[in-house]
């Protein structure tokens, strides 16, 4: 599990999503070069329970704060050759609000009221692509802090683009909740990557431009603390102080939460995608919901994937 931010830790300075224009990259034949959204985040209190069963789980010392290196990014704007309303196949739009407090409007939880979106791993079909109007456009249902609780810049996966509004996936309970944010004051980025986690086969597949690119073995949650199914996204990238620790050299925090663990070591049960100091257990049901990879694999993904990358777990 990914925990809350350590209030005593020093905060790293975030770097926003900026980068070369996509049109230039295409003209130079460099589309195959990974397009990333830069993120620098502090490491909060991670619970070792992410890699143990409920009965064995014990709080671990909080690692010191370090930051992952920024990576180049691409803005999503028509003037840069990337029209947010018409992305290339397999690409996803990511919103980076610039305000410290981000109001959410017309919030909607999954229709069935579950937290995982069901076995089909899809968001609620009742989510509307019509921007809020009237009172719904004037009254916020909640406000998200930016940076988030882990000290990382707030990133939101865009589900629908409108000239004045964006419907986004929210990193809140219940899983699958969406809401609307105003387009003004939001910087847009795009990612050509997506991830698919197959729990039955203990595999994570990376897609680029909608096509499978590489496959990694993963460890997932146990029967009593399963990894939830659903559509999520990489909400933050954290770098533990010790790469030899239980979370390995890198840990992505997902936008989703455990359906079972709601409070552990001061955390809210955030699902993580991270390395491990028990590589022999990758490929098994071992964690409290997190997705574990070999350290060389998570390092490769940390260099490749931008924050905001969609993740589908089935």
Q: Look up residue 134 and give its two tokens.
A: 């009237």
Residue with tokens 């070591």: 265
Q: How far is residue 101 from each of residues 145, 181, 235, measured CA to CA in Å? A: 5, 11, 17
The Cβ of residue 20 has, within 10 Å, a number of other Cβ atoms equal to 16
Cite the active site residues: 274, 290
φ and ψ at residue 48, rounded to 5 degrees: -65, -15
Spatial separation of the C-alpha atoms in residues 264 and 270, rounded to whole Å: 10
CA torsion angle for 62, 220, 159, 297 (degrees, to 10)? 70
CA neighbours closer than 13 Å in the CB half-sphere of residue 295: 15
3-state secondary structure of 51: helix
Sign of CA dihedral 195, 196, 199, 204: negative
Residue 23 backbone class (left: φ over 0; alpha: ψ -120 to 50; beta: rest): alpha
Reported as half-sphere exposure (CB side, CA atoms, 13 A), residue 135 has a value of 0
Q: Report the Cα 186 to chain-centroid distance in Å.
A: 18
């Amino acid at each position: 599990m990914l925990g809350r931010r350590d209030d005593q830790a020093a905060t790293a300075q975030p770097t926003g999503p900026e980068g070369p224009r996509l049109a230039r990259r295409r003209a130079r034949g460099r589309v195959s070069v990974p397009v990333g959204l830069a993120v620098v985040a502090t490491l909060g209190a991670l619970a070792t329970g992410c890699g143990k069963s409920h009965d064995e789980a014990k709080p671990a010392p909080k690692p010191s704060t370090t930051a992952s290196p920024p990576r180049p990014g691409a803005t999503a704007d028509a003037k840069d050759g990337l029209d947010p309303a018409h992305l290339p196949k397999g690409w996803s739009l990511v919103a980076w609000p610039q305000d410290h407090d981000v109001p959410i409007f017309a919030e909607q939880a999954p229709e069935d009221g579950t937290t995982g979106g069901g076995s089909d791993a899809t968001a609620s079909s009742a989510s509307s692509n019509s921007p809020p109007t009237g009172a719904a456009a004037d009254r916020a249902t909640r406000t998200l802090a930016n940076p988030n609780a882990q000290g990382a810049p707030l990133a939101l996966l865009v589900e629908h683009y409108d000239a004045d509004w964006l419907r986004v996936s929210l990193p809140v309970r219940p899983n699958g909740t969406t809401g609307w944010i105003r387009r003004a004051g939001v910087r847009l980025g795009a990612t050509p990557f997506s991830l698919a986690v197959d729990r039955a086969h203990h595999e994570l597949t990376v897609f680029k431009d909608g096509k499978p690119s590489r496959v990694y073995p993963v460890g997932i949650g146990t029967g009593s603390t399963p990894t939830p199914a659903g559509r999520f996204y990489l909400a933050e990238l954290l770098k533990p102080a010790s790469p030899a620790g239980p979370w390995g050299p890198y840990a992505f925090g997902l936008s989703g939460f455990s359906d079972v663990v709601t409070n552990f070591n001061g955390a809210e049960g955030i699902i993580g995608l991270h390395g491990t100091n028990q590589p022999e257990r990758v490929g098994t049901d071992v964690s409290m919901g997190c997705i574990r990879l070999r350290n060389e694999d998570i390092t490769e993904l940390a260099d490749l994937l931008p924050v905001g990358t969609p993740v589908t777990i089935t």
